[in-house]
């Protein structure tokens, strides 16, 4: 009897096809999946998806091409109507999205000056109004739901955290004009190495993202659409980047403008505070996680509640319901900067979100495919390490920063376990923590949030002790 193909594997293929700009060949799909799926296996699974009506196929044999059916009521815009910057990917647009794009590509002086329309927010009714259709939400849930048993909030994000830190930090920073490459970002996050010839502001932006993502994932049970979460997100993302050192984590009291737009955000501090609280209350009341995610991607930057860094806050805030519901995170992989910016301009100047919505749906399909493939390659994580991840990080970091030798480290870990870990887990915790200390090297210490200098100084003590023991 033939083995039933897991739904998660089919979703990964479907997401890979969706992420490609146009009807794709088998070779293109294999590349999008990471090149690990055997050709005959992929052909078989593509046939299943076609037979189920989830994909469309044109041509035969080596000329076969695959695409995802366009959502009902949408048409793909002809390529010649699009002007994409060289090197950026094509996102299929609905007719209404293309119309928005056409408008915001006019010179600023040819577009109508507008101010903040409070009615745009107040007209939204949680679980009655919907920016995403039922069909769109169902599609997103299909591609973003992993085949795992029910687990604590944040489990999925923790499983792919190493990859997520790099992907989301890089892509969100890239959308702000950061010039770090993906490799540069990886070296900075994993080894603390700044890229040569780059402004320190760029490194700070990426490291701020890393801190904010770790906060969301590590505090999955506590985060939500409340002032604590969103203000602290801004505090982390804006750290050491604003002219006013008191501005991170605080609602603005100054007027701001939008580059390349004649949109004028609110300027009255009391009104900004009121709308900010209303956005949070509305988002918290929405039941459906993808609607929540997209709502904050629209409304938070439209309000511009902070001096700067508003879009970055909205992109990470969009991940809050996804992390809590153990859905695939949204890391904005390959999202064209120009198309994303135009989507935001459509919200600012016309209160229309169709262009941004097309970007959101396309981006999520691409992200979901990425993390389905990542999880498949990782296998199942050790549940004990997963449950005690933060405690292990803290105790190992204390050993490093304290420049402890092996004898001191063993005693410190034992005392930590006695004070912080339940009795039933103490012995295993000690073994795991000591094992992590013994396996530390220059390629894996950054996950403990210690600096390269701190690690080098500790190595001198640890290495000296090891040498003495051998002699």
DSSP per residue, 86-139? TTPPP----HHHHHHHHHHTS-GGGS--EE--HHHHHT--TTTS-SS-HHHHHH
363, 365, 370, 374 alpha-carbon torsion, rounded to 10°: 130
Indicate whether 314 and 166 sit together in one domain.
yes
In a domain, 75, yes or no: no
Indicate whether 245 and 229 sit together in one domain.
yes
- d(CA 430, CA 425) in angstroms, rounded, equals 9
Indicate whether 388 and 322 sit together in one domain.
no
- d(CA 316, CA 320) in angstroms, rounded, equals 7
In a domain, 83, yes or no: no
In a domain, 79, yes or no: no
Both tokens of residue 228?
Answer: 């604590």
Indicate whether 13 and 104 sit together in one domain.
no
Q: Which of 378, 395, 425 is the last residue of a domain?
A: 378
In a domain, 457, yes or no: yes
Indicate whether 219 and 285 sit together in one domain.
yes
Q: What is the pLDDT of residue 425?
A: 84
Indicate whether 425 and 288 sit together in one domain.
no
Q: Range of 25's domain?
A: 7-68
CB contact set of 55 (below 8 Å; sequence gap of 6+): 14, 17, 46, 49, 66, 67, 68, 69
CATH number, domain at 32? 1.10.10.10
Contact 121, 299 (CB under 8 A): yes
Nearest Cα to Cα of residue 213 among 167, 180, 250, 251: 167
Indicate whether 225 and 341 sit together in one domain.
yes
The label of the residue with tokens 């094992």 reads 435
- d(CA 31, CA 16) in angstroms, rounded, equals 9
Indicate whether 37 and 114 sit together in one domain.
no
Indicate whether 113 and 135 sit together in one domain.
yes
Indicate whether 203 and 348 sit together in one domain.
yes
Q: Which of 328, 347, 378 is the last residue of a domain?
A: 378
- d(CA 328, CA 142) in angstroms, rounded, equals 11
Indicate whether 323 and 300 sit together in one domain.
yes
Indicate whether 400 and 362 sit together in one domain.
no
Q: What is the pLDDT of residue 99?
A: 95
Q: Which residues of the chain have pLDDT under 70?
A: 1-3, 20-22, 34-36, 60-63, 69-89, 148-149, 376-382, 465-471
- d(CA 15, CA 54) in angstroms, rounded, equals 11
In a domain, 89, yes or no: no
**How many distinct structural domains can be found in the chain?**
3
In a domain, 451, yes or no: yes
CATH number, domain at 165? 1.10.3290.10
Q: What is the pLDDT of residue 382?
A: 64
In a domain, 78, yes or no: no
Q: What is the pLDDT of residue 148?
A: 66
Q: Which of 378, 406, 437 is the last residue of a domain?
A: 378
Q: Under DSSP, is residue 267 helix (H, G, I), strand (E, B) or coil?
A: coil
Q: What is the pLDDT of residue 450?
A: 81
In a domain, 85, yes or no: no
């Amino acid at each position: 009897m033939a083995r039933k193909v897991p739904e998660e594997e089919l979703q990964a293929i479907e997401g890979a096809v969706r992420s490609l700009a146009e009807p794709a060949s088998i070779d293109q799909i294999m590349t999008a999946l990471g090149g690990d799926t055997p050709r005959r296996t992929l052909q078989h699974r593509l046939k299943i998806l076609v037979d189920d009506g989830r994909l469309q196929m044109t041509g035969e044999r080596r000329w076969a091409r695959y695409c995802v059916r366009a959502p009902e009521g949408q048409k793909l815009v002809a390529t010649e109507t699009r002007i994409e910057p060289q090197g950026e990917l094509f996102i299929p647009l609905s007719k209404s999205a293309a119309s928005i794009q056409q408008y915001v590509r006019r010179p600023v002086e040819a577009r109508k000056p507008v101010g903040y329309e409070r009615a745009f927010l107040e007209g939204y009714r949680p679980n009655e109004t919907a920016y995403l259709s039922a069909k769109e939400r169902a599609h997103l849930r299909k591609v973003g739901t992993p085949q795992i048993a029910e687990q604590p909030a944040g489990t999925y994000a923790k499983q792919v955290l190493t990859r997520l830190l790099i992907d989301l930090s890089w892509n969100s920073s890239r959308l702000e004009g950061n010039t770090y490459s993906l490799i540069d970002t990886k070296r900075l996050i994993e080894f603390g190495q700044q890229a040569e010839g780059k402004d320190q502001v760029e490194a700070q932006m990426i490291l701020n993202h890393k801190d904010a993502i770790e906060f969301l994932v590590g505090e999955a049970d506590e985060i939500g659409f409340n002032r604590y979460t969103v203000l602290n997100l801004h505090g982390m993302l804006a750290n050491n980047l604003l002219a006013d050192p008191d501005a991170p984590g605080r609602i603005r009291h100054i007027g701001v403008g939008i580059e390349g737009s004649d949109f004028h955000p609110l300027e009255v501090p009391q009104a900004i505070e009121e709308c900010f609280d209303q956005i949070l209350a509305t988002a918290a009341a929405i039941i459906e996680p993808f609607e929540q995610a997209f709502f904050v991607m629209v409304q938070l930057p439209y309000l511009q509640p902070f001096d700067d860094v508003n879009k970055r806050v909205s992109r990470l805030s969009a991940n809050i319901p996804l992390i809590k519901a153990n859905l695939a995170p949204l890391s904005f992989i390959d999202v064209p900067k120009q198309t994303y910016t135009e989507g935001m301009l459509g919200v600012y100047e016309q209160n229309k979100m169709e262009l941004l919505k097309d970007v959101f749906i396309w981006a999520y399909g691409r992200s979901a495919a990425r993390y389905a493939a990542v999880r498949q390659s990782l296998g199942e994580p050790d549940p004990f390490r997963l449950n005690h991840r933060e405690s292990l990080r803290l105790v190992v970091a204390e050993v490093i920063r304290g420049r402890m030798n092996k004898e001191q480290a063993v005693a410190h870990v034992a005392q930590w376990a006695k004070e912080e870990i339940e009795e039933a887990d103490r012995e295993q915790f000690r073994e795991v923590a000591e094992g992590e200390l013994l396996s530390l090297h220059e390629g894996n210490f950054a996950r403990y949030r210690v600096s390269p200098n701190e690690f080098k100084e500790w190595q001198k003590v640890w290495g000296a002790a090891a040498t003495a023991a051998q002699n």
